[in-house]
C-alpha cells in the first residue's frame, strides 16, 4: 500500500505531529480515516507511541473501538499512515460544541447510549490489558448508525500486571 492508493476527501482534524483525513481507497471506493504521522518531527518516545498505536489497534477487534485496517510508511514524505475505520458522525466534542452553539441539549437517553458504548469499548480494551490513557470527548467517535467508538490510542499502554 501507498498514499497513491487513496484519494483525500477532506481533513478531519490535526494534532501536534499528525493529521487525520477522510480518504477513499482508489481500488474499491471504500472510505476510511487515515492518520498521517510526521515521523521526522517526533522524538524517539513519540515514534514508539505511534508504533504502539498500530500494535494496539491491530490487536483489538470490537464494535466500540475504532477498527484498524492497515498501516504503511511513505518514504518520500517520511510519513507513517494508519488506515482506520471511518466513523462518519464526527466526534463527541464536536457534537457537544454544536449543541452549545445551537443552545440546545443532548437528550439524556442519548447521553446514556453514548456512555454505555464508551464503557463497552473500555471493557474490551481492559480485557486485553490495554489502558487508553487519553479518554476525552475528542477521542470518542460517532458512527452515523448510532455506534460509538473509542479511538486515538497513541498513548495507550498494555498493563504488565493487569488492570484493577
Distances (CA, A) of 40 to 7, 25, 43, 95: 23, 26, 8, 33
Residue among 28, 88, 134, 152 flagged as catalytic: 134
Task: Name the burial class of residue 62, with classes exposed (0-12), middle (13-18) and buried (19+) by CB atoms within 10 angstroms of its CB.
Answer: middle
Query: What whole-number distance in Å separates Cα of residue 12 and Cα of residue 52?
Result: 22
Residue 134 is a catalytic residue: yes
Cite the active site residues.
134
Amino acid at each position: 500500500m501507498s498514499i497513491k492508493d487513496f484519494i483525500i476527501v477532506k481533513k478531519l482534524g490535526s494534532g501536534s505531529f499528525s493529521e487525520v483525513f477522510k480518504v477513499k481507497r482508489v481500488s474499491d471506493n471504500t472510505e476510511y480515516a487515515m492518520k498521517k504521522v510526521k515521523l521526522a518531527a517526533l522524538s524517539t518516545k513519540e515514534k514508539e507511541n505511534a508504533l504502539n498505536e498500530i500494535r494496539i489497534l491491530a490487536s483489538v477487534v470490537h464494535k466500540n473501538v475504532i477498527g484498524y485496517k492497515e498501516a504503511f510508511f511513505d518514504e518520500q514524505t517520511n510519513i507513517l499512515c494508519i488506515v482506520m475505520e471511518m466513523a462518519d458522525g464526527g466526534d463527541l466534542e464536536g457534537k457537544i460544541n454544536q449543541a452549545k452553539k445551537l443552545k440546545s441539549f443532548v437528550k439524556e437517553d442519548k447521553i446514556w447510549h453514548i456512555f454505555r458504548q464508551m464503557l463497552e469499548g473500555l471493557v474490551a480494551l481492559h480485557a486485553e490489558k490495554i489502558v487508553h490513557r487519553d479518554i476525552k470527548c475528542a477521542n470518542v467517535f460517532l458512527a452515523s448508525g448510532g455506534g460509538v467508538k473509542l479511538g486515538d490510542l497513541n498513548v495507550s499502554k498494555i498493563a504488565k500486571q493487569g488492570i484493577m
